Structure 1
Amino acid sequence: MLQVNDLHAYYGKSHVLHGVQFEVGEGEIVSLLGRNGSGRSTTARAIMGMVAAEGSVLWNGQQLLGKKPFEIARQGVGYVPESRDVFPQLTVHQNLLLGQKSSQRSGKPRWTFEDMYRMFAPLKERQHTPAGVLSGGEQQMLTLCRTLMGEPDLIIIDEPTEGLAPRFVEYVGTYLNQLKDSGCSVLLIEQKLSIAMGISDRVLVMGHGTIVFEGRPQALRANTAVSTEWLEV
């Protein structure tokens, strides 16, 4: 589904990604691991057309590089940024409504409001509350759910558990399992190895703007050299 080849990305004159290459298959969860500053978030932003990039990003055979973020989203690629980016003056329910694809209103959606509220009970309790007064964990849940309401076939999730209390981390784990069961493809950027290793079909390790390891979670567990050099703090 997603094929990234020889991807280079830049912030001004700063060359951040150096020939990144990987794939995410249909119904597959792939985790992108690495230390802060390794280029993981830049990879997500380059795929979504949010930073200057060169190379190739194919989605179902169609080139994404050069397209605007909203055009990429309309092709079925969802993005959950680390910054969450809720609409603070709108209620929880209104935020979810904004994420809903217009085509859903005339056909049967893959994901419904009821699904979101069942998955994340705190959102149901606060569905009429302005998103700006929610806790960080609740805002993260809302952003995850709003992205799903857009019916993506691939969802890129950047650091969903960053700064969350343990109970909200558990909700994120439930969310990821739901995605896996639904057949939605996922590119997960995550610091907590326990979550990434437990949910992923394959893992990628990034260092200095390039992929330094690719394989199954069990292969990474067995490769202490990669963990020591590229993951341990």
Structure 2
Amino acid sequence: MLKINDLHAYYGKSHVLHGVSFDVQPGEIVALLGRNGSGRSTTAKAIMGMVDASGTVDWEGRHILGRKPYEIAHMGIGYVPESRDIFPRLTVHQNLLLGQKGSGKGSQWSFDDMYAMFPRLKEREHTEAGVMSGGEQQMLTLCRTLMGDPKLIIIDEPTEGLAPKIVELVGEYLQRLKERGVSVLLIEQKLTIALTISDRTLVMGHGSIVFEGTPDELRADKTVRKEWLEV
């Protein structure tokens, strides 16, 4: 589905990613873990065509490195940035409407689906998004991305700053995506949610993948956790 090989990325003269290689298979949740500054967010931006990069990024057999972000999104990759980027002066419903690809016909996701997953959004349907809580805005960003009917969704730090109950809700949401055939690349710092819901885990350090394995293998590898994850 998504296959990355020898990916390098740069901010100006700064060389941030150093030969990153991994893949995401259909219906799979892959957690990309690491400390701040390890290169996780840059990896997401490189996949989405938002930073200068070299190497290979293949999506469903097509080479997409060098394409524009909107072209990549239309090919079926959704991206939820850490900054959330909601439209603050628009209502919840209007934000979701902007997420639709074309007319929305043929999409497996509807407004009713979004409101069923997150009843709080239904309650706030006609509320300006800018006055909502951080947790509500995160729900909205996730749902707006889904309205574009992606086959893969890249989510950067979805639980950052959220209360424990909302973190649980986000975990349940991501598992529902998997049940409906959507793959997830989850960029996280919180080991608990990543190890609970992911099929495979990747650990980044200094712009490279330093570990790849199952959640159980990462739980058992104290050396990797101590050197690359624990503060």
Q: CA deviation at 1:154?
A: 0.4
Query: Aligned match of 2:187 in 174, 186, 189?
Result: 189
TM-score of the aligned structures, taking structure 1 as reference length: 0.97
The unaligned stretches of length 5 or more in structure 1 are none
Instruction: Assess if the C-alpha contact under 8 Å between 2:104 and 2:147 holds in 1.
Output: no
SS of 2:104's partner is helix
Distance 2:27 2:208 in 1: 24
5 Å-filtered alignment, 1:94-173, equals: 94-105=94-105, 107=106, 109-173=107-171
User: Which amino acid is 2:73 matched to?
Assistant: A
Which of the numbers 203, 206, 215 marks the counterpart of 2:204? 206
Residue by residue, what CA displacement relative to the aligned partner does 1:142-170 show, whole Å, maximum 9, x if unpaired? 00000000000000000000011222212
Tell me the equivalent position of 2:52: 52
Q: Percent identity?
A: 74
Structure 1: 4+ residue segments shifted above 4 A: none
How far apart are 1:177 and its partner, in Å?
A: 1.3
The 5 Å alignment of 1:50-89 reads 50-89=50-89
What are the ranges of 5 or more consecutive residues in structure 2 without an aligned counterpart?
A: none
Query: Matched residues in 1 for 2:116 and 2:189: separation?
Result: 26
Q: How many residues of Structure 1 are paired with residues of Structure 2 in the alignment?
A: 231
Say whether residues 1:5 and 2:11 are aligned partners.
Answer: no
Equivalent-residue separation in structure 2 for 1:216 and 1:166 (angstroms): 24
Q: Following TM superposition, by how much is the alpha carbon of 1:64 offset from its aligned partner in structure 2, in angstroms?
A: 1.1
- State the Cα distance separating 1:192 from its structure 2 match: 1.1
* Cα separation, 1, equivalents of 2:103 and 2:91: 22
TM-score by length of 2: 0.98
Bigger mean CA deviation after superposition, 168-177 or 143-152 = 168-177
Q: Confirm or deny that 1:32 pairs with 2:26.
A: no
The 3-state SS of whatever aligns with 1:104 is: coil
How many Å separate the matches in 1 of 2:168 and 2:124? 19
- How far apart are residue 173 of structure 1 and its match? 1.3
* CA positional deviation for 1:181: 0.9
Question: What amino acid is the match of 1:75?
Answer: M
Amino acid at match of 2:49: G
Cα offset for 1:25? 0.4
CA RMSD of aligned residues (A): 0.8
SS of match in other structure, 1:102: coil
2:212 aligned counterpart, secondary structure: strand
